[in-house]
Structure 1
Amino acid sequence: MLDFLKDNIWVIIIVLNYALAISAASTILLKNINPTKTLSYILVLVVFPFLGLIVYYFFGQEYRKNKIFNRKNVLNEKIVQKLGKDFELSESQLHKLDDFLDEKIKLVNLLNNNKNTPVTLHNELQIIKNAKDKFDLLFEDLKHAKHHIHLEYYILKDDNIGTELINILCDKASEGIKVRLSFDDVGSKISSKTKRRMTKSGVEFYAFMPVLFPSFTGKMNYRNHRKIAIIDGKVGYVGGINVSDNYVNYKNGDSYWRDTHLRIVGEALKPLQVHFLLTWDFVSNSSCKISSELFPDVAVDSINAVQIAASGPDTDWANIMEAIFVAINTAEDYVYVTTPYFIPNDEIITSLQIAAKSGLDVRLLIPKTSDSWTAKHATNSYLERLLEAQVKVYRYTKGFIHAKTMVVDDLFSTIGTANLDYRSFNINFEINALIYNKKTSIELKNIFLEDLNDSEELTLETWQQRTKFSKLKESYCRLWSPLL
C-alpha cells in the first residue's frame, strides 16, 4: 500500500485537487452569482491546479451570506436602537427633502430601508483636498479631545506622519482620554516598539483579521478598507486618506498624491460612531460598553442631509454600489466620477453608458500612473466601451489620484473609501458619506473640474490605436478582474 502511494503520489494529489475543485465549482454554481464571476472561478479551478483552490479559498467565500461576521452586540444596545427612532423624519421633513431632491429621493429611500443608514439633516461639512490639510485639521481636533478618540484605518504606518499621530494618541491616553484604534493587519505596518509604547500609554488597539504573513498576503483577504476618525462623538472624518507618508506629499514630482477627505460635525457622527463600534466589537472580541457619552447631541443649525453608507461582508446588501447605481440612473444633467481603480460590474458600466448615450455629461477621472499593474490594465480594458458610448475619460497626469468621489446634478455627492471595483463592491469593508446638498456638490464639482486641468482626455480614435501587446495585457488582467 505504501509503495502504491509512493509510486502514484502525484496522480493521487491531482485527483484530490480536482475532486475538491468539482466540489467548489458545484458550490459556486449553487450560489447563482454573476455568470462572469462564476465562469472566472471555474476557469481558475480547472486550468490552475492547486492555485485555483487557493484563489477560491481567499476570494470565493461569500461572507455576506455565510454571516461569519457576527456583530449583534452593538446593534442590540438600547441606546443604538433609540438612535434609529430619533432619526425618523416627519412627513413635513420628508416632503421638503422630496421637493429638493426630486428623483434622488430614491437614494434616501433605498438606504433608509437599512436601519443602520438613516438620513441625518443637521450637519456641517468641510471638503478636504489632500492629506496635509486633513492631518492639520485632524491633529488639532485630536489635541482638543475631552472624552474619547476612535480611529479605524486600512493603512497605518509608524513613519513620519504616523508617528506624529501616534504621539498625540499616546499623550491623550496618558491624560485619561479613552483612545481606541483599529487598523487592518495587511494594510498597516507598525513596529513592535511602537505597539509597546501605545500599550504603556493606555491606547487600546487591535488589528483587523490578523494574518500570519501580512507582507505576502497582499489583497487575498477580506480587508477593512475604511478610514474613520471620531473625536468625542462631535467631530468625524471619512474619505480616501490613510496614515502614511505616501499621502502627505513630502516630495514633489511623480510622487504627488491627490486625495479627498471629508470633515463632519453634526448628526451624521452618530451612525458613523455605530459603524466604528460594530468593527470594534468584532476586533476586540469583547462587548464595548455603549454609553450616551458616545452619542452626544451637537448643536448644528445648518441643514445638510447626509447618510453614512457602509458595506462589506457583514451587510445584507451592497449598499454603496446600489447607491452609486441609483445615483447614475436618476441623473438628469451630469455625472462626474473620480476613482483610482475602475473595475466595474456590469450594472455600473451599463448605467454609465446609458447615461452618456442619453445625452448626459458623463465624465470619468482615473490615474494615468497606477500603483497596481494589474488594476491599471484591467481598468484600461473597460475604457473603449465607455468612449464608444461617449463617456468622457480623463487620466490624471500630475501624480496619482486616489480620491473616491462622485457628484451628480449639483444635488448629490459622495466622498468615501469605496472604489468603483469588484473588491470595494463585494469584498472589502467600505464606508461612504452620501451628501444631499447643493453647496457641497458644487464645491466637489469645481474640485473635479480643477483636477481636469492636470489631466489628459482620451479620444476613441487614439485609444483604439494602442498596441496589440497593450490589448493583450488588458485582456489578461481583465480575466482576473472579478477576483482582483
Structure 2
Amino acid sequence: MELVGWIVRVVWLLNIFAAIFTVFKEKREISATWAWLLVLSFLPIIGFILYLFVGKKLSQDKIYDIKTQERMGIEQLVSLQKEQWREKELLPADEITDTAREMVHLFLETDNAILTKHNQVEVFDDGHAKFKALFDDIRTAENHVHVEYYTFYNDRIGNELRNLLEEKAAEGVEVRVIYDSFGSRGTTHKFFARLEDLGGRAEPFFGSRRSFPNFRLNYRDHRKLVIIDGHIGYIGGFNVGDQYLGRSPKFGYWRDTHIKVTGNAVIAMQSRFFMDWNATVKEQHISYKEDYFPLAAGQGKTSIQIVSSGPDSEVENIKLGYIKMINNATDYVLIQTPYLIPDDSLLEALSIAAFSGIKVKVMIPSMPDHAFVYRATQFYAKSLLDAGVEIYKYNKGFLHSKTLVVDGKIAAVGSANMDYRSFKLNFEANAFMYDEGVSKQLVKIFEKDEKECTRLTPEYFEQQSLWLKFKQYFSRLLSPIL
C-alpha cells in the first residue's frame, strides 16, 4: 500500500509538471490558461486527451496562410474609403448617425471592412423559407455559385442542395464548396464525388479529404456564406441539415435568422470566400476576374459592412462591434443567442447598459444542444439578471439565432454567438447593417419570439437544485475553453 501511495504521488507530480509545460508553451489568455490547468491537473490522462482535441492551437503556418491572402476585389476600396472617412465624404451627416459613423471607422481600421450602400436585404426567420429562396436563386446562376457552411450534412436537405449544385456544374456554372469537416460530421469527401466529376470542387476547411473524422474542436470554419454570380449573397445562422428545418425530434422547431443581400455587400462576401478558399486549397487558387465582382447600381436603402473574426486576427472584430453597439445604445438592446458566455468586457458592457436605464433583453434557448455550454449560459443569464438585464427563455423549439439590434437603427446578423468560441476560437462572419427598416423588422421578429418565451426571474434560479447550480458554477470555470 505504501508503494502504491508513492506511485500515485509521483504520477500526480508528473501530471502537474506536464500540465504546466503543456499550457504555458502556447500563448493564451490568463483565464484560458487557468481553466486548462484546472482540467489537466484534476483529470489526469483524460484532461490531456481533451486538450488534444480542444486546446491544441492551429499551426502558425495555417494562420499565416489566412493572414496573407489578398482581399481580392476590395483592396483599393479599403484605401479609398479610409480617405473618404477622413474627408467626411463616406458618411455625410445627413445620411447616418454619429454612432454608426464611429462603428464604420472601427471596422475599417480593425478588419478593412468596406461600407457598401444601397443594398436590398430580405430577412428569413424560418428554414423552409430560407432554403426555398436559396434554391430558387441558385437555379438562376449563370456564372458561379460559391458555398461556405460550417455544417453540410448528408441528409435530405443536404442531398437536395448537393444535387442542385451538381445540376449547375453540369450546365457549366462554376461551383465551389467549403465545408467544415467537424461541423459536417458524417459527411465525407465522397459525398461530393459526383459534383467534382461534373467540374465542381469541394474542400474541407483546413481538413483532410480522407474519411476519418477530424476531432479538433477549436478553430473551425463557423461561417455560413453563399455567393451567386457576385450579385446575391446569403449570410446568417442557418447551416445545411434537416434539423435546421425542424425535422429533428430532439430539437423540434428550429428558430434561426438569415439574410439575403442583393447589392455591393456581396463583393465583401465574395472576397471573404476567396480568402478562405485560397488559404484552404494547396493548388488552383482563385485569381481576380471581373465576373466575380460586378458592381451593382443597387436600389436598396441598407448600408452594410461584412465583418470577419477569427484566430487569424489579433483583434476580436465582431466582439468589439457588439460592445460598441451596446455602449452607444440610448433606448434598448435586443439580443438573441444560443450560447451566452460573454467575457468580462462584454459582461460589463451589458451590465453598465442595464444599470444606466437602457432596456436590455437577451433571449436564449430553453434546451441544450451542448450540456456544458448550456450550464454556463444559465450561469451568465443569472449574472445578467442580477444586473437588471431581462432574460427570456425561448420555448417553441431551439433558438439558434445570432442577432443584435440597438435602438431600431443598427443591427447585426451572422454566425457569431455571444461566447468565447465565436470571438476567439472560430472563424466567423457577420453583417452589420445601418438601416432603420431592417432593424425594426428584426425588432418585430424579436417581439414575436417573445410571445413564445418565459421571462426568467430570480425565483426561477433560486428554485433550481443544488446539483444544477453546482454544474452551472463548474461550467462557468471552464467557460474560457468551452
Please give the secondary structure, in 1, of the residue aligned with 2:306.
Answer: strand
Return the offset for 1:253: 9.7
2:175 to 167, 173, 179: 179
Q: Check 1:254–1:179 CA distance in 2 against 1; reply closer, same or farther (3 A cut).
A: closer
Shift in Å at residue 419 of structure 1? 0.6
Gaps of at least 5 residues in structure 2 are 1-5
What are the Cα deviations for residues 274-312 of structure 1, in whole angstroms up to 9, with x where unaligned? 110011012212321221211111120333111101011
Q: How many residues align?
A: 472
1:71 paired residue number: 66
Residue-by-residue CA offset, 1:76-128 (whole Å, 9 max, x unaligned):
76x44223245554645445258632234221111110353111112111111
Which residue is 2:263 aligned to?
266
Q: 1:430 to 1:72 in 2, by over 3 A?
A: closer
Q: How many angstroms does 1:235 deviate by?
A: 0.2
- SS of residue matched to 2:432: strand
- Alpha-carbon RMSD: 2.6
Rounded Cα–Cα distance in structure 2 between residues aligned with 1:133 and 1:192: 28
1:452 aligns with 2:446: no
Residue number among 197, 201, 204 corresponding to 1:204 in the alignment: 201
Pick from 209, 221, 224: which aligns with 1:224?
221
2: distance between equivalents of 1:76 and 1:259?
29
Q: Which moved more, 1:173-182 or 1:183-192?
A: 183-192
Change in CA separation of 1:253 and 1:224 when aligned onto 2, cut-off 3 Å: closer
Maintained 8 Å contact 1:104/1:330: no
Aligned counterparts, 1:250-399, within 5 A: 250=247, 255-286=252-283, 287-399=285-397
The change in CA–CA distance for 1:232 and 1:13 in structure 2 (over 3 A counts) is: farther
Greater shift, 391-400 or 310-319, is seen at 310-319
Contact 2:338-2:364 at 8 Å conserved across structures:
yes
What corresponds to 1:403 in structure 2? 401
Determine the C-alpha separation between the residues in 1 that align with 2:471 and 2:214. 24
User: Could you give the per-residue CA deviations for residues 26-72 of structure 1, whole angstroms, max 9, x where no partner exists?
Assistant: 335xx4x5433222122223222333344444444555988734235
3-state SS of paired residue (1:36): helix
Q: Structure 1 residues 254, 312: closer, same or farther in 2, change over 3 A?
A: closer
Q: How does 1:232-243 map to 2 (within 5 A)?
A: 232-243=229-240
**Structure 1: which 5+ runs fail to align?**
1-7
Q: Using structure 1 for the length normalisation, give the TM-score.
A: 0.90
CA separation of 1:216 and 1:270: change in aligned 2, threshold 3 A? closer
Contact 1:240–1:260, Cα closer than 8 Å, also in 2: yes
Please say if residues 145 and 229 of structure 2, whose CA atoms lie closer than 8 Å, have aligned partners that are also in contact. yes
Give the match for residue 3 of structure 1. Answer: none
- C-alpha change, 1:192 and 1:103, in structure 2 (3 Å) is closer
Cα–Cα, structure 1 residues 472 and 311, in superposed 2: closer, same or farther, change >3 Å?
same
- TM-score normalized with structure 2 length: 0.91
Distance 1:370 1:15, change over 3 A: closer
State whether residues 70 and 314 of structure 1, in contact with CA within 8 Å, keep that contact through their aligned partners in structure 2: no
* Bigger shift: residues 95-104 or 330-339: 95-104
Distance 1:282 1:418 in 2: 21
- Name the CA distance, whole Å, in 2 between partners of 1:293 and 1:433: 23
Output one character per residue of 1:212-247: Cα deviation in whole Å (capped at 9) or x when no partner.
786682x62311111000001100000000110111
Look up the equivalent residue of 1:138 and give its one-letter code.
Answer: L
1:48 aligns with 2:43: yes
- Is the CA contact 2:404–2:411 (under 8 Å) kept in the aligned structure 1? yes
